[in-house]
């Protein structure tokens, strides 16, 4: 199975409530190595697809914490967790990913699916990821990066819609450096995929055309071939 996407068996475990709101760029639960009894934190859990899948993997002795700044998403994720019969092992919090208020050294794994690119201060988010992880803990993250910096004018136009994933996308090497400076180590890229024109259009309109303004064809053409989806792991040294 391609570790970057959801299998049909996995999708069958997820309530329709969460599937309809899934706007990720990968499947971090597929390469996080989640084990029964572990504590997993989902940074930017959205409607709950990855929270539900992680809860199946940790089992009744484990715990999954979903954090999202949008109370509407937390409400939807709660509905999905209830529908899946997994409320006993899922905790959901409205909060800032840079300040989750979770205990130090409390998570075995942190997952995130195409959300950290939306954060203006990625340095603080990755510092928070490091703080929350136990020594020896790991991250499994899907995200969007750029192969090169784009012009300030073009970046400003994309930033006019931070819900579209291009709004906060950082140059790839800058992104890896942010992770290394947080203290995380051993970055392993699982999948690296340059977005096609069709995929790029979907990404810049995420989570949907009703939420984001139109993007000009000229702006899309200017970044075609420069936007990459990356799936990777890293660890907090023990």
Q: What is the pTM of this model?
A: 0.89
For the stretch 11-24, pLDDT in tens is 777 767 666 655 55
Kindly tell me if the per-residue pLDDT of 34 is higher than 50: yes
Task: For residue 115, report the phi and psi dihedrals to the nearest 5 degrees.
Answer: -125, -35
**pLDDT-based confidence at 82, cuts 50/70/90?**
very high
| Gap between the Cα atoms of 226 and 85, Å rounded | 42
Alpha carbon separation from 183 to 92, 102, 137, 186, 235 (Å, rounded): 26, 18, 12, 10, 9
Kindly tell me if the per-residue pLDDT of 209 is higher than 80: no
Are residues 44 and 117 in contact, defined by beta-carbon separation less than 8 angstroms? no
Name 193's Cβ contacts closer than 8 Å, sequence gap at least 6.
4, 228, 229, 230
Closest by Cα among 114, 98, 111 to 230: 114
Q: Of 29-33, 68-72, 179-183, 198-202, where does mean pLDDT reach its minimum?
A: 198-202
CB neighbour class for 60 (10 Å; exposed up to 12, middle 13-18, buried from 19): exposed
Domains of the chain and CATH, by start: 8-146+168-193+229-235 (3.40.50.150)
CA pseudo-torsion sign 231, 138, 8, 47: negative
Higher pLDDT, 14 or 236: 236
Share of the chain above pLDDT 70, in %: 87
């Amino acid at each position: 199975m391609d570790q970057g996407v959801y299998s049909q068996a996995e999708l069958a475990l997820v309530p329709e409530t969460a599937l309809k709101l899934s706007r990720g760029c990968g499947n971090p639960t597929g390469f996080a190595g989640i084990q029964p009894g572990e504590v997993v934190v989902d940074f930017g859990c959205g409607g709950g697809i990855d929270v539900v899948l992680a809860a199946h993997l940790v089992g009744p002795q484990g715990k999954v914490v979903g954090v999202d700044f949008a109370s509407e998403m937390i409400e939807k994720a709660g509905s999905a967790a209830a529908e899946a019969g997994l409320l006993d092992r899922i905790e959901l919090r409205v909060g800032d990913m840079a300040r989750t208020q979770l205990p130090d050294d409390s998570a075995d794994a942190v997952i995130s699916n195409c959300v950290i690119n939306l954060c203006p201060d990625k340095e603080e988010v990755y510092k928070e990821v490091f703080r929350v992880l136990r020594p020896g803990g790991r991250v499994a993250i899907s995200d969007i990066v750029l192969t090169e910096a784009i012009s300030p004018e073009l970046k400003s136009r994309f930033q006019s819609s931070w819900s579209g994933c291009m709004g906060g996308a950082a140059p790839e090497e800058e992104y890896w450096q942010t992770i290394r400076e947080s203290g995380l180590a051993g970055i392993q890229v699982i999948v690296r995929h340059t977005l096609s024109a069709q995929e790029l259009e979907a990404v810049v309109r995420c989570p949907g055309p009703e939420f984001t303004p139109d993007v000009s064809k000229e702006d899309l053409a200017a970044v075609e071939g420069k936007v990459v989806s990356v799936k990777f792991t890293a660890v907090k040294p023990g």
